[in-house]
Chains A and B, each alone.
Chain A
Amino acid sequence: MFVNRNYCLLLGLLVLALASCSRQSQQPTPTSDYRFDLAVEPEPAAVGQTVLLVTLIGPDDTPIDEAQVSARGDMTHAGMTPSFGEGEPEGEGRYRIPYVWTMGGDWLVTLHAVLPDGQEIEQTFDLAVSSGG
């Protein structure tokens, strides 16, 4: 019976943990009137050095300068380290991010911007990168 009680306790703790936990990463992010446009150079995307060409657009389609733009790319497979890049402003809301595709496959590129007023926005893009040149 000692063993049975322990099993029940463990299972109960597991259920409680699943039911009760609230996680910071799961908090909803506020909606925004801002958006990114993303292009890659060269295209189609292939393993190696690349450039992410990002355009940050605000309300009424106004290009947004003077933001801090960065990119984080994750592969869809567990165990893959992400790639990071920092945006260099080019004017008219455009940012150039030197970047490296480390492996062929499916990538999720998350663009992040800190706007001049301190507001932060984020948008994720799906990209398929080929392993051949």
Chain B
Amino acid sequence: MTAVGRPSSIEIQPTALDLLRLPLLGSFLRWRWGRLAAQLVLLLGTALIVYDGLTGPQLAPRNLATVLAWVHYRGLVLLALLLVGNLFCFACPFTLPRTLARRLSIDGRRWPRALRNKWVSIGGLLLIFFLYEWLDLWASPWLTAWVALAYFVGSFALEAVFKESAFCKYVCPLGAFNFVYSTASPFQITARDQAVCRSCPGKECLNGSDQVLGCGTELFVPTIDSNMDCTFCLDCARACPYDNVALARRPAWQELVAKLPARWDLIFLLTTMAFFGFFNAFGMVPPVYALQRWMTTSVGIQSVALQVGLIYAAGAIVLPGLLLTLTAVLSRRARPPERRGTLVQQAARFAPAFVPLGAGIWLAHYGFHFIIGAATLVPVAQSFLIDHGLTWLGGRANWTVGFLVPVDLILPLQVGALMLGLLAALAVVARQGLASGDRPLSALLQLLPWALVLTGLTIASLAVFNLPMEMRGALAAVP
């Protein structure tokens, strides 16, 4: 996304808080083995997911695989992104075999030029959400374990063949999710002093040194103006011989109102992620079962796989594609002819508004599961240990655990997350419209279609979260 040599268009104040300069934390992050230490923690979690998923009780609420993956990981990843940044890519255990593969790589081919975009990861997202709904992954410890193993294999295989971090940058659906919402994160990698980078002969942050690999996703620190594609691996900070890299605080909205590259893959990724969020939640409320029954009885589609595939393809690909195109066309027409750019340029100005709204939708959904399910890790861990003859956490699993907040607060919190997301999204489109330099009426007409789509998606989400969720799956197809 960032071309080498182009200076960053986003200025971060030199006095901004820099996590790499904080006592202890900064030393840990810059330490050569700092990332590995964090990865080992998540590797232990992933090993438990694989082990318990394959060998433990095949009931999701009683198995570490499903609880860790579908309650804790999903609940914490968005919080981490919104409060700090891409911490889960930083500590991603799937890159451990990847790094090994990179060292074993013989020829190190480049990722095919035609695939150097986000379309593959959008396809990966569609695939993973389709499998999630079709196979009820949330209800199957065994399948959850195999998903984790598939991640290890996929990461290893791609890195063994291609020399750049192709898996992270172009394929990984989890990475795509993290990249999208890290664009609203309050921290970003930047150069402490641009002048130092200009005179730097080795560009070690990009090219690496004898001791440290350079940026896996090929970002050059002084030109970074986005968290997109940054895994927070901090190899750049470790490689820089001048200690000139900062993980600096920035306004969370800064990137959302900056200039997004005019690329349909990026624009569509930011947009469709919000629709994936909506349809992922929609899959848990009664109307989806009515829709499936209608597809069975009225349309004659008996296959649950086909039903789920059609719902996701229509809802998360076709619908956002059509809305995006229509909105961009209407918005562009509102500009004076002499100032009209291309359609993709117009879409790129406003599409980042889907990031805060999408974050609100995901937070409302995954926050719900985290609030009601986080504490079940205690009895599940107790059961796991007891199962192995260990009574470190007690001799009997205590299932009388409560929710993280009173149950009456859950819906207000969900509504709050959605409304906050909508307000931030409307603020982004308002800023982008008014900053166009066009007359106020033109600016208003440009932002209006986007505001309508964002508001419509919010209303639909409010309706879904206001319905009772039903934890279905793994028993039988919808009758």
Residues of A within 8 A of B (CB): 3-4, 7-8, 10-11, 14, 17-18, 21, 23-26, 47, 74-82, 84, 103-106, 108, 126, 128, 130-132
Contacts and interface: CB of A to CB of B under 8 A. Distances in A.
Contacts, number: 137
Interface stretch (B49-57, B197-205, B305-313, B336-344): B49-57
Contact of A4 (B103, B139, B373, B474): B103
Given A76-B139, A76-B471, A80-B373, A10 B96 contact: yes
Interface of B: 36, 40, 43, 47, 50-51, 54-57, 59-63, 66-67, 69-71, 96-97, 99-100, 103, 136, 138-139, 286, 369-370, 372-374, 376, 383, 386-389, 399, 401, 468-476
Contacts of A108: 59, 475
A130 B285 CA distance: 11
A79 B51 CA distance: 19
Contacts of B474: 76, 106
Nearest to A21: B55
Contacts of B139: 76-78, 106
23 contacts: A4-B103, A10-B40, A10-B43, A14-B47, A17-B47, A21-B55, A23-B56, A24-B387, A76-B136, A76-B139, A77-B473, A78-B67, A78-B70, A78-B71, A78-B376, A80-B376, A80-B471, A81-B399, A81-B401, A103-B470, A106-B139, A108-B59, A131-B468
A74 B468 CA distance: 18
B388 A24 contact: yes
A36 to B, nearest CB: 18
A21 B53 CA distance: 13
Contacts of B136: 76
A26 B59 contact: no
Contacts of B70: 77-79
Given A14-B51, A76-B471, A79-B71, 19 more contacts: A4-B103, A7-B99, A17-B51, A18-B51, A18-B54, A23-B55, A23-B388, A24-B386, A26-B55, A26-B56, A74-B59, A74-B62, A76-B139, A78-B70, A79-B61, A79-B67, A79-B376, A103-B469, A130-B286
B476 A80 contact: no
The 10 nearest A-B residue pairs measured at CB: A79-B373, A105-B471, A131-B468, A78-B66, A77-B471, A79-B71, A104-B470, A76-B139, A105-B470, A78-B60
A8 B18 CA distance: 35
Contacts of A80: 61, 372-373, 376, 471
B135 to A, nearest CB: 12
Contacts of B43: 10
Contacts of A79: 61, 67, 70-71, 369-370, 372-374, 376
Contacts of B476: 126, 128
B57 to A, nearest CB: 6
Contacts of B56: 23, 25-26
Contacts of A77: 60-61, 70, 138-139, 369, 471, 473
B468 A132 contact: yes
Contacts of B59: 74, 76, 108
Contacts of A3: 36, 99-100, 103
A59 to B, nearest CB: 29
Given A23-B55, A78-B70, A82-B61, A106 B473 contact: yes
Contacts of A82: 61, 399
Contacts of B103: 3-4
Contacts of A24: 386-389
Contacts of B372: 79-81
Contacts of A130: 286, 470
A103 B47 contact: no
Nearest to B375: A81
B3 to A, nearest CB: 31
A94 B466 CA distance: 40
B67 A106 contact: no
A56 to B, nearest CB: 23
Nearest to B467: A131
A11 B97 CA distance: 9
Contacts of A11: 97
Contact of B475 (A18, A23, A25, A106): A106
A103 B370 CA distance: 16
A76 B472 contact: yes
A77 B40 CA distance: 28
A75 to B, nearest CB: 5
Given A74-B59, A74-B62, A7 B97 contact: yes
Most buried by A among B57, B59, B469: B59
B475 A21 contact: no
Nearest to A47: B468
A74 B386 CA distance: 19
B97 A76 contact: no
A24 B388 CA distance: 7
Contacts of A76: 59-61, 136, 138-139, 471-475
A76 B138 CA distance: 8
Contacts of A47: 468
Contacts of A18: 50-51, 54-55
A67 to B, nearest CB: 22
